[in-house]
Structure 1
Amino acid sequence: MENVEVVVAHNERATLRVGEVFLKVDSDQGRLDVEVEAMAMAPIPTPEVLWRKPPVLAIAAVPGTALGRLGEPSTASPAAWAAAGAAVRKLHDAPLPPWPGPSLEEITARLDSECELLITSGALPADLVTRNREIAEAALRPWRPVFTHGDLQITHVFVDGDSVTGVIDWSEASRGDAMFDLAILTLGHEERLDDLLAGYGTDVDLDVIRAWWSLRSLVAVRWLIEHGFDPSLPGCEVDVLRSQLVR
């Protein structure tokens, strides 16, 4: 009998691992719909869907290891990061998914709401929030929509040696800003941005990527705290916000 490993669990969703099978339980049927359709459309390696019985989705484990973890140095090679960049470029060049992503207005409204709550609750110093909100402004501009993963955390990209073996967790996939995916993948790993861009290409806006680092961290802090995670751990979101002030 295989042991059951809790990969992540909170009041919105949970992921369990049983041997080489991942069971995703999600209270939002729409997220599972997006995940299945996005994986079928994506032109890069994704997990195999084994079966689906709402609210559960069963997928096969992908080979290899995660590119890294937030708060820890990535041990993946520069070539592996470049391969990840090439995979992201292939995704961004693919036909758009039929569903939209969050609008600029929605993103701006959420950012402003979160900043206000962070300050009024005392979760973060007001000057840290205010300065990062100013930095985040550069991301709040019109963009040409591309097929984005939408939650391209470093733990969602798997590599074996210098090759990408799979990209997981597609529930946030949509039409979006290419710079957002690049920013999320390098959040807390700024030193690997050049390696990533060696595979992706250099037609990027570094100021916008840095702006997304601030924006993503600002909107994530309160959610992480409320769901039992600690964004103040070394190398995590609060450190990212602090590092933005010393450029």
Structure 2
Amino acid sequence: MAGVEEVKVVVAHDERATLRVGDVFLKIDADQTRTDVEVEAMALAPIPTPQVLWRKPPVLALVALPGMALGRLGEPSPASSAAWAAAGAAARALHDAPLPPWPGRRLDELASRLDGECEWLVTNGVLPPDLVTRNREVAEAALRPWKPVFIHGDLQITHVFVDDDKITGVIDWSEAAQGDAHYDLAVLTLGHEEHLDDVVTGYGTDVDLDVIRGWWSWRSLVAARWLVEHGFDPSLPGCEFDVLRSRM
């Protein structure tokens, strides 16, 4: 049809899909609670976020961000050390902001989820028991009380856009909530441990590296079943299973 932009599928699975049409992202999500959180979180966040063009449930239209994503899990990041440091500074600005009015996940919920996913991984022969046990032990460092801050909740590198070593925006805020600052930093550097020092430098305050490593293990263990069931492969080089193996 004349005048219609090319439609590109950015990501799609059973829960939601994101399409790009020209300079517009169309996010389709059957769970409007997630979209409610995303829209409110972007309005509250003190860092750049996409402009909301319109919302007609189940679709949310956003202006595409300039620049490129910080990188992808399983691939070398094309971004500079300065860009990674800028991502750390953006995370710090978010964590210093007033808390969002809705709570995050409780510590006991996170521990229970970890137990359940570890049992599933072993029972179904997805990973060797010793690998799961070791990473379960490493994850204990993250499962401790923390002072809640405003977290993005899914601050993976594909959600952080940079241009000329500056952050142009952060996308996908549906998991934003009150939570542990270390969790955001861990998700940001998952599979890219070589850039952890850059992020910590940009963050500009003390970071407990054992807690970061604990969240790496927690995230990789609990994400595995969801990834497999939604058509993603955590066993690809540099992805979640390699993150787990690096703890051995």
Indicate the SS of the match to 1:171: coil
**Residue 27 of structure 1, CA deviation:** 1.4
Aligned 1:156-167 pairs, distance under 5 A: 156-167=159-170
**Distance between the aligned counterparts of 2:11 and 2:78, measured in 1?**
23
Amino acid paired to 2:114:
L
**Residue 176 of structure 1, CA deviation:** 0.3
Aligned partner of 1:119 in structure 2 is 122
Aligned partner of 1:83 in structure 2 is 86
Aligned partner of 1:24 in structure 2 is 27
1:196 aligns with 2:199: yes
Indicate the SS of the match to 1:44: coil
Aligned partner of 1:52 in structure 2 is 55
**Residue 201 of structure 1, CA deviation:** 1.6
**Distance between the aligned counterparts of 2:85 and 2:14, measured in 1?**
36
Name which of 99, 103, 106 aligns with 1:100: 103
**Residue 67 of structure 1, CA deviation:** 0.5
Indicate the SS of the match to 1:138: coil
**Residue 238 of structure 1, CA deviation:** 0.2
Q: Which runs of 4+ in 1 moved over 6 A?
A: none
**Distance between the aligned counterparts of 2:104 and 2:23, measured in 1?**
31
Percentage identity across paired residues of the two chains: 78
Aligned 1:204-243 pairs, distance under 5 A: 204-243=207-246
**Distance between the aligned counterparts of 1:134 and 1:154, measured in 2?**
26
Deviates more, 1:197-206 or 1:174-183: 197-206
Aligned partner of 1:72 in structure 2 is 75
**Distance between the aligned counterparts of 1:201 and 1:133, measured in 2?**
29
Amino acid paired to 1:183:
A
User: TM-score under structure 1 normalisation?
Assistant: 0.98
Name which of 56, 59, 64 aligns with 1:61: 64
1:171 aligns with 2:149: no
**Distance between the aligned counterparts of 1:28 and 1:203, measured in 2?**
37
RMSD value over aligned CA atoms?
0.6
Aligned partner of 1:186 in structure 2 is 189
Structure 2, unpaired ranges of 5+: none
Query: Aligned pair count?
Result: 245
1:42 aligns with 2:49: no
Aligned partner of 2:140 in structure 1 is 137
**Distance between the aligned counterparts of 1:219 and 1:160, measured in 2?**
32
Name which of 8, 13, 17 aligns with 1:14: 17
**Residue 202 of structure 1, CA deviation:** 3.7
Describe the superposition over 1:45-65 as per-residue Cα deviations: whole angstroms up to 9, x where unpaired: 000000001111010100000
**Distance between the aligned counterparts of 1:171 and 1:149, measured in 2?**
8
Indicate the SS of the match to 2:20: strand
Amino acid paired to 1:125:
P
**Residue 137 of structure 1, CA deviation:** 0.5
